[in-house]
Amino acid sequence: MDTNLHFTLPTEVFSGRGCVAKQAQRWMLGRHALIVTGKTSARLSGALDDVCACLDARQIPYVTYEGISANPDETQVYAGAAVARTRGCDFVIAIGGGSVLDAAKSIAWVVASNVPREAFFNGVPATDPVLPIVAIPLTCGTGSEVTQYSIITDHEAKTKKNVSSAAFFPTIALLDAHYLTSLPKDVLCDTALDALSHAIEGIYSLKADCFSRALAETAIGVLMPELVRMAHGTFVNLAQLQYGSMVAGMVIAQTGTGLVHAMGYPLTYYKGMPHGRANGVLLAGYLAFMQATCASLTERILAAAGLSLPEELQALVDTLLDIQGCFREAPTEEELEVFTGDSLRLEVVRRYRTLPSPEEVKDLYRMGF
């Protein structure tokens, strides 16, 4: 076994019921907080109340920006940054799913480094300062609480772009699975499929090493039984899902994502399919495709998942989407042309030993529908 490693994870992680209040002293990272949330889940889950109570008790002033939607664009980032600037915020508390956490990272950068809007998608200079970030995830898919990535929609490029920097790792992540109890079942399922996709793509990456692969196997082994339980309509352990998602996040913090995400972005951008669901429908076909050239890694993935064949994963995903009544409209041949071009243009597809041809990519899309 090649034991050469390159592993980075500067985020301090705490989990467990009540961890926001228990660790409050640790996450007071400045004198004025910007709280970034989506429309409803921060309030519904009780997380926003818990955070505000901790800030009030320590007389730390704060302002809340509740304007982040799914697939945020730079307009939302700059609107949040304007709120932070007006109030002189010097740290950011992100409460929400991946969209919120990702947008909060970019806001923290734009504020601290005065990033001009026209330079936003040009990359983050390594020396650029970023405000300290507290991440409180309210879904179980993104893993953004332990990654350096901020995925922001670029309408000009008609896709999502990865805005990332080592300085984007949250300073502290607080995982309380109790906050997931108000999550709709379809969101729970979509985000869990996203996490599974992170772990599987991470294993195949050229950047993977023995440690990140071991983490990915752990994540798959934790996530799969919960997905099976979801498919059977039985009790799902939210803490396990949250843990598996975070571990998968630790994986992609090392390896990045790959072909499934590159192919999933057009399904989200053009067809409005939720991010995790888009990955989920493509995952089994991708596994079958990779089996031809990476047999032993595929065996490891299947073993960790408790499966014998990629088709079994397809059956599980089909069941999960069927019980939620998720209609999948197959892309037209014209759409496949556009989606294939867009996904193969993304840099992430080059992180693999096997670069698929445009025809193979189209076939992978067809297999998901």
- C-beta closer to Fe ion: residue 147 or 171: 147
Instruction: Look up residue 335 and give its two tokens.
Output: 């759409």
- C-beta closer to Fe ion: residue 113 or 280: 280
- C-beta closer to Fe ion: residue 33 or 200: 200
Sequence-separated (6 or more) residues with CB below 8 Å from residue 219: 195, 196, 198, 199, 244, 245, 247, 248, 251
Owner of token pair 């200079």: 125
Instruction: Look up residue 364 and give its two tokens.
Output: 């992978």
Residue 296: how many other CB atoms lie within 10 Å: 6
Residue 286: CB minimum distance to Fe ion, A = 14
Instruction: Look up residue 131 and give its two tokens.
Output: 């405000």
- C-beta closer to Fe ion: residue 176 or 194: 194
Residue 43: CB minimum distance to Fe ion, A = 25
Beta strands in the chain (DSSP E): 12-15, 33-37, 62-65, 91-96, 133-137, 149-154, 159-164, 172-175
Sequence-separated (6 or more) residues with CB below 8 Å from residue 3: 209, 210
Instruction: Look up residue 173 and give its two tokens.
Output: 């992540």
- C-beta closer to Fe ion: residue 35 or 196: 196
- C-beta closer to Fe ion: residue 74 or 194: 194
**What phi and psi values does residue 163 have, to the nearest 5 degrees?**
-100, 115
Q: Using CB under 5 A, list all residues that contact Fe ion.
A: 194
Residue 91: CB minimum distance to Fe ion, A = 26
- C-beta closer to Fe ion: residue 19 or 249: 249
Residue 275: CB minimum distance to Fe ion, A = 6
Q: Is residue 208 within 8 Å of residue 66, measured between CB atoms?
A: no
Residue 350: CB minimum distance to Fe ion, A = 18
Residue 125: CB minimum distance to Fe ion, A = 25
Cα 64 to Cα 85: distance, rounded to the nearest angstrom: 13
Sequence-separated (6 or more) residues with CB below 8 Å from residue 184: none
Residue 49: CB minimum distance to Fe ion, A = 28
